């Protein structure tokens, strides 16, 4: 998996959650730490957080709260030598290597899941700066020419992540993430 770098998008306001989603604790780690570990396990040689300083290399969004495409482009600019980028959303910390495997195995220019533009794997050469900060991620997926794959069985909830306290509850429910239930802290 040589040439893989990761971007963790963490530039939102977390308004619907009511607290910083990147700092929510999962099994003793913040969401951003957990995703950085997942990215490294997937073979990422570098990890950059877009949006804020969480103790990892980071870049501020060019337009604060301007949307994920602006953050993705700003972080990609810090990774000019990467051949492929694994792009993760900070609000989906329960993703697994099995969830990422089909994306990592996809040929260039990369892939995302149907109905869920994140996570995605995109060839660095397919990242176009022609989109503005406020452009939707679905448009980025389209312009980059990414394949849209069926998500792995049972992954839909993990892909959606948690943007609200109710969605957070869904993720920590024993039916969805048994290892998280006892370890998630405020």
pLDDT at 128: 77
Percent of the chain with pLDDT over 70: 83
Q: Given a cut of 70, is residue 185 above it in pLDDT?
A: no
- Whole-number Å distance between alpha carbons of 81 and 71: 18
| Domain boundaries, given as residue ranges, for the chain | 4-181
pLDDT at 173: 66
CATH label, 4-181, candidates 3.90.550.10, 2.60.40.420, 1.50.10.100, 3.60.15.10? 3.90.550.10
- Whole-number Å distance between alpha carbons of 87 and 54: 17
Q: Among 59-63, 122-126, 166-170, which range has the highest average pLDDT?
A: 122-126
Average pLDDT taken over every residue of the chain: 85
Q: Given a cut of 70, is residue 175 above it in pLDDT?
A: no
Q: What is the mean pLDDT of residues 153-160?
A: 86
Beta bridge partners of 85: 5, 122
Q: pLDDT tens for residues 96-105?
A: 999 999 999 9
With bands split at pLDDT 50, 70 and 90, how would you rate the model's confidence at 153? confident
pTM for the predicted model, two decimal places: 0.86
- Whole-number Å distance between alpha carbons of 17 and 162: 8
Which positions ≥6 away from 153 have C-beta within 8 Å? Answer: none
- Whole-number Å distance between alpha carbons of 4 and 111: 14
pLDDT at 129: 66
pLDDT at 18: 62
Q: pLDDT tens for residues 7-35?
A: 999 976 566 666 677 777 877 888 899 99
Percent of the chain with pLDDT over 90: 55
């Amino acid at each position: 998996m040589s040439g893989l770098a990761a971007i963790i998008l963490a530039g939102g306001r977390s308004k619907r959650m009511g607290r910083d989603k990147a700092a929510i604790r999962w099994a003793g780690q913040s969401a951003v730490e957990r995703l950085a570990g997942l990215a490294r396990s997937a073979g990422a040689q570098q990890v950059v957080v877009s949006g804020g300083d969480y103790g990892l290399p980071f870049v501020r969004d060019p337009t604060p709260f301007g949307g994920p495409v602006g953050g993705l482009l700003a972080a990609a600019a810090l990774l000019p030598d990467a051949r492929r980028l694994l792009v993760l959303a900070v609000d989906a910390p329960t993703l697994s290597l099995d969830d990422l495997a089909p994306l990592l195995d996809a040929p260039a220019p990369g892939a995302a899941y149907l109905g869920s533009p994140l996570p995605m794997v995109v060839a660095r050469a397919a990242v176009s700066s022609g989109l503005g900060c406020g452009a939707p991620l679905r448009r980025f997926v389209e312009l980059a020419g990414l394949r849209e794959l069926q998500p792995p069985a049972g992954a839909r909830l993990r892909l959606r992540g948690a943007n609200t306290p109710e969605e957070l509850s869904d993720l920590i429910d024993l039916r969805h993430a048994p290892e998280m239930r006892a370890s998630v802290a405020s």
